[in-house]
């Protein structure tokens, strides 16, 4: 078999045509080549003729979602049954979406639906943020529409409240913070990082509101940890809406903390 030769001319052509940028912007397209995708404009043109399905968690969906989208989390045990029933009830194609670009859930959902026997399925891999920026009137933010774009939080705003695991642990102890562990029971596996000082709270705004009020009244900082540092991104919207300023997340979640401990044991700092 003849090996492909990447000549300078070919490399230049790929750069000029933007192929490299396209591949890096949507890495999932190369992995899930069998999944058909829709652009933001294509979804807008077909919005009334398709079933739009949000495959993220219920909490993410309730924070920000496409107007009219159904929430069928990819993690649900009956995911295949849920999308099959939706397709049969409406007779419309199904378009799955998640957070977009580097998020793989929309592709995985489409492939799983295909394996369940559904043929007319797509992934909207640009995701929720691209959608609401282009069509705020077709989005729902914390129960209201249109989406106020000035309320969308930037990566910089999230980073400002992220602490490295070792600093998170140190400050949570020294500053007598209120510590919330928002991991689910399966993720915790009975491991306590603060010897009973933390409060196990599901990602539910009504329940978390109690601790927000407690932190405010007692003048104590709020420290929140999750599994991999992804869930807290959505919790930040609620904390900001409540006007809380003194709150912190563990960067990378408990996974990053255990990796830090492992490096310490190996003498790698």
Of the candidates 222, 220, 229, the residue with the CA atom closest to the CA atom of residue 187: 229
**Angstrom distance (rounded) from CA 72 to CA 167:** 37
Residue 191 resides in a domain:
yes
- pLDDT of 104 above 90: yes
In degrees rounded to 5, what are phi and psi of residue 109? -65, -45
| Rounded CA separation 88/118 (Å) | 10
Counted residue by residue, the chain has a size of 269
**Per-residue pLDDT tens digits for 57-79:** 999 999 999 999 999 999 999 99
Shared domain for 128 and 48, answered yes or no, is yes
Give 58's Cβ-side CA count (13 Å radius): 5
Residue 11 lies in a domain: no
Domain coverage including residue 213: 155-265
Per-residue burial over 66-91, b if 16 or more Cβ lie within 10 Å, else e, is bbebbbbbbeeeebbebbbebbeeee
55, part of any domain: yes
For residue range 109-144, what is the model confidence (pLDDT) as tens digits?
999 999 999 999 999 999 999 999 999 999 999 999
Residues 181 and 238 in one domain: yes
pTM of the model: 0.84
According to DSSP, residue 202 is labeled -
Task: Give the start-end residues of each E strand in the chain.
Answer: 51-54, 64-66, 70-71, 94-97, 121-124, 139-141, 162-163, 178-181, 199-200, 222-225, 247-250
What mean pLDDT do residues 154-176 have? 95
- 72-78 CB contacts, 8 Å cutoff, 24+ apart: 74/98, 74/105, 74/108, 74/109, 74/112
Q: Are residues 203 and 249 in the same domain?
A: yes
Q: Domain with 261 in it: what CATH number?
A: 3.40.250.10
Residue 7: inside a domain, yes or no?
no
């Amino acid at each position: 078999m003849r090996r492909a030769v990447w000549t300078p001319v070919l490399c230049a052509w790929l750069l000029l045509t933007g192929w490299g940028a396209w591949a890096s912007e949507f890495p999932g397209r190369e992995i899930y080549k069998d999944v058909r995708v829709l652009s933001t404009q294509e979804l807008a043109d077909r919005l009334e003729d398709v079933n739009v399905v949000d495959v993220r968690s219920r909490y993410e969906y309730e924070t920000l979602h496409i107007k009219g989208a159904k929430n069928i989390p990819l993690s649900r045990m009956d995911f295949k049954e849920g999308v099959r029933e939706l397709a049969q009830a409406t007779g419309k194609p199904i378009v799955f979406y998640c957070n977009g670009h580097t998020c793989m859930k929309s592709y995985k959902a489409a492939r799983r639906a295909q394996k369940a026997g559904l043929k007319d399925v797509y992934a909207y891999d640009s995701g929720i943020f691209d959608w609401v920026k282009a069509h705020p009137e077709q989005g729902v933010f914390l129960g209201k529409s249109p989406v106020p774009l000035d309320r969308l939080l930037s990566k910089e705003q999230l980073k400002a409240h992220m602490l490295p695991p070792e600093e998170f642990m140190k400050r949570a102890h020294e500053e007598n913070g209120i510590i919330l562990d928002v991991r689910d029971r399966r993720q915790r596996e009975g491991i306590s990082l603060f010897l009973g000082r933390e409060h196990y709270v599901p990602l539910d705004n009504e329940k978390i509101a109690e601790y927000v009020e407690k932190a405010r009244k007692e003048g104590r900082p709020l420290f929140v940890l999750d599994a991999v540092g992804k869930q807290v991104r959505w919790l930040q919207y609620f904390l900001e809406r409540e006007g809380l300023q003194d709150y912190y997340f563990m960067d990378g979640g408990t996974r990053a903390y255990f990796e830090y401990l492992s490096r310490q044991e190996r003498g790698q700092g």
